[in-house]
Amino acid sequence: MRDCFHRHDLVAIVPAVRRSITVEVLGDAAWWPSDAVEQLLRGEVKGVALPGIVSRQEGDAPGLSVGFASPYRQKGVRLRGRAVVPFSSVSLIRDPYQVITDARCTAVPNLPVFDVLDEAWALASAAGLPCGVFGSVALALATGLPYCHEESDLYLVVKLGALDAVERFHDAVCALSRESGVAIDVELELPDGAGIKLAELFDEGNTVLAKGFTGVCLMGKDEVRAMDHRYQLS
């Protein structure tokens, strides 16, 4: 059943189950306003259900490990929680590529990060790289709730393609970030589903940290470079 899910997927949970699961608030719950904590625990803000965010699966938890993020922030820190939910309770899965595709038909707030999202998506398309979005921008697009602000960063994921195309995209995104003032963090998805930071692939080191569905490992850059001929559009 776990094979249906990947890191960064947004999942809808059957309401009856969502109300019954135990959500652990990350950090000191007493630091937050009680109504904000209650909304996170209940899984609903202004009548909108908060999606679960599929996280790295650790141990032998009898279900799917997910995180929850509230649109509420205090002193630059976002209210978050985590839980394990039954696989059978998931009623909808949206991966980062679906979220960004849906966004093409979605009204978005007038904020810099959304303008940059459009430009970055166009750059990825020009390079022939499937592009998705995760983080606060994905949550805002999926829910319509105010997850983003004037200084929000942009988190993207692109699938591994020909390395010359990947490098062109990396250079273009770095230039876009400098020109716009919006920080852009790009994860490169490898054929096995693991993700590496795109910037790490082109820095001076010899290895990259690969984050998989159930763990992390160091990979040699030569191993990553050898994967480009195996890439196929899905």
Q: What is the pLDDT of residues 142-193, one digit of tens each?
A: 999 999 999 999 999 999 988 999 999 999 999 999 999 999 999 999 999 9
DSSP state of 2: G
Token pair of 158 as six digits:
């692109």
Structure confidence at residue 109 (pLDDT): 83
Tokens of 57: 């699966």
Among residues 18, 160, 192, the alpha carbon closest in space to that of 89 is found at 18
Nearest to 68 by CA among 82, 55, 78, 54: 82
Query: Can you give the pLDDT at residue 39?
Result: 95
Pairing mode of beta strands 64-74, 131-134 = unpaired
pLDDT attached to residue 158 = 97
| Domain extent listing, the chain | 2-94, 96-230
Look up residue 12 and give its two tokens. 């809808």
Q: Cα separation of 126 and 182, whole Å?
A: 21
The whole-angstrom separation of Cα 187 and Cα 196 is: 5
| pLDDT for the residue numbered 61 | 73
pTM above 0.95, yes or no: no
Is 162 within 8 Å of 228 (Cβ atoms)? yes
Parts of the chain with a pLDDT under 50: 230-234
| pLDDT for 46 | 92
Please give the pLDDT value at position 1. 64
The pLDDT, as a whole number, for residue 232 is 44
Backbone dihedral angles phi then psi of residue 195, each to the nearest 5 degrees: -125, 140
